[in-house]
Structure 1
Amino acid sequence: MRVQVLVAAMNQYNHSLLEKMHIQSDVIVGNQCDFNGIEHFEYKGYSATYLNFEERGVGLNRNNTLMRATGDICLFADDDMVYVENYPELIEKAFLDYPDADIIAFNLVEKIPTRYIIKKAKRIRFYNFLTYGTARIAVRLSKVRENGISFNLCFGGGTEHCHGEDNIFIADCLKRGLKMYAVPVSIANLTEERESTWNSGYNREYFFDQGVLYKTISKKLWRLLCLQDAVRHAKKEYKTSWKNAYTLMIKGGKGLK
């Protein structure tokens, strides 16, 4: 079972990122920069590739690495992650423990936790998948390929809708019948040194994009998805009333034809 890391990065002008991220497996770095060129080389006995493209958009970047991936199990990484020692063995064990799993979500360690912490293993379904982003999942490449799943190019940093490409990717996996689990295993630390390229706060644009995202995920359930989001997050996270958040999300969703 060969593990391969697919990194979405920007403005890398040497190969130091691999050392910084503590890469211990095959790796492909999608490097959006100001020049074009593909580099293949060996890194500590592993196969490494840099895809240097003069373009923007995180979904496009992830697709560039995904369509060139060759591993049995692939991880989607960001350039502010530092992998733990022996992460390939941890990931392989998780897939051996859950042989029917096509996707497994892991924990990412933060100094100040903001992400949901998985405390016990569980099956992830369509009603509870929104907690998980692509930086914490591993996928069976063959299942993703067989089902023609890729990242939506209209969502994420560098696109018209500032976030949500990871939610849509996981939703598409579940819609096509892929089985997903979450396990209480940490695979990487976040350095927290990189500012978000898209999040400028919970403003009108954010709520509009959230409505568009939910309608893209489900034409039938998008209003319910907006409502649960507004009720759960408005007071503590969004710092606004749930009615205001919900109203703006609905306006955004209605704008999607």
Structure 2
Amino acid sequence: MSDRLEILISAVNKAAEELPLKMKIETDAVIVNQVPDGSGADKDEMIVTQSGLCKVLTRHAKGVGLSRNMALDTATHELIHFGDDDIVYDEGYSQRIVDEFDKHPEADVLLFNVQAQPGRETYRNEDYARITWRNYGRYPAYAIAARRDKIIKAGVRYSLLFGGGAEFMNGEDSLFLHDCLKAGLCMYRTPVSLGHEEVGESTWFKGYTDRFFFDRGVLYHFLYGNFAKILGFRYLFKNKDVMCKDMGLVKSYKLLVKGVNHGRKLKTR
């Protein structure tokens, strides 16, 4: 256990007091638990666990970006790691995070291996290397650990427009890392593993629907600006045998372009 590290957990309608044991958390933690309307008042609690103190913020406001920002604002430790309520950590993970930051003082943000459930894998780090504009877009929040003061000083926040409970589907993690790069933070991937994701139903993916392609277009506007349509077509063409199997490449791309154009009208994300 390290008193330098704090785990920031976004949960949705969970028994928050059970999460530290279920997730095998070894350090202090902040849990933001978003609950349904009509389930009582917002409240803040402090839970003492075998591994440390856990601050539990129960909120009715929805949105994973809002949840992660609230946890970040509440955190006080030197190092932070973003977690989800379906992650189970391996024994000794906390010391591995601390050791990796001590080993690499050049890193403001480190992206660790966490094994996703079968069928949802988007990345696997095989080496220690710099994260750039070419390779930042594959990482989920539960891969991200950072020096808290660097994130705060850079003013990087999670988008309130994207992710579970928000107006548009996933993409909030890519936007967060995009903004880390834009702010000049030094990010590296590492082959060090922390744990695994439990098997469960996706909270956002409901198939390759009209909304999937439209929301992807909105996201690509914020990620790539004037290159959004070109890179959007490249993305769809590369994955056309899976993503466009039912709808077809042409219709899928038209929906994505519609999303890009809509994103251009939005004032903020």
Identify the residue that residue 138 of structure 1 maps to in structure 2. Answer: 145
Identify the residue that residue 24 of structure 1 maps to in structure 2. Answer: 26
Q: Does 1:173 align with 2:180?
A: yes
Alpha-carbon distance in structure 2 between the residues aligned to 1:14 and 1:137: 22
Identify the residue that residue 84 of structure 1 maps to in structure 2. Answer: 90
Amino acid corresponding to residue 179 of structure 1 in structure 2: C
Contact 2:11 2:32 in 1 (8 A): yes
Identify the residue that residue 48 of structure 1 maps to in structure 2. Answer: 54
Identify the residue that residue 66 of structure 2 maps to in structure 1. Answer: 60
Alpha-carbon distance in structure 2 between the residues aligned to 1:201 and 1:53: 29
Contact 2:33 2:56 in 1 (8 A): yes
SS in 1 for 2:189: strand
> Deviations for 1:187-246, whole angstroms, at most 9, x for unmatched residues?
0111113x2221111111011101100111232332233133213222235535544433
Q: How does 1:89-104 map to 2 (within 5 A)?
A: 89-104=95-110
> Deviations for 1:7-63, whole angstroms, at most 9, x for unmatched residues?
000112351111000000110000011331100132125121000011211111111
Matched residues, number: 256
Q: Does 1:198 align with 2:204?
A: yes
Identity of aligned residues (%): 34
Which of 10, 14, 17 aligns to 1:12? It is 14
Alpha-carbon distance in structure 2 between the residues aligned to 1:204 and 1:132: 24
Which of 112, 122, 125 aligns to 1:106? It is 112
Contact 1:7 1:77 in 2 (8 A): yes
Contact 1:32 1:54 in 2 (8 A): yes
SS in 1 for 2:57: strand
Q: Does 1:249 align with 2:251?
A: no
Scaled by the length of structure 2, the TM-score of the pair is 0.89
Alpha-carbon distance in structure 1 between the residues aligned to 2:96 and 2:163: 29
Which of 154, 157, 172 aligns to 2:164? It is 157
Per the TM alignment, residue 178 of structure 1 is displaced from its structure 2 partner at its CA by 0.7
Alpha-carbon distance in structure 2 between the residues aligned to 1:131 and 1:32: 26
Runs of at least 5 residues in structure 1 that lack an aligned partner in the other structure? none
Which of 193, 201, 212 aligns to 2:218? It is 212
Amino acid corresponding to residue 158 of structure 1 in structure 2: G
Identify if the C-alpha distance between structure 1 residues 131 and 13 changes in structure 2 by more than 3 Å, giving closer, same or farther.
closer
Runs of at least 5 residues in structure 2 that lack an aligned partner in the other structure? none
Contact 2:158 2:175 in 1 (8 A): yes
SS in 1 for 2:235: helix
Scaled by the length of structure 1, the TM-score of the pair is 0.93
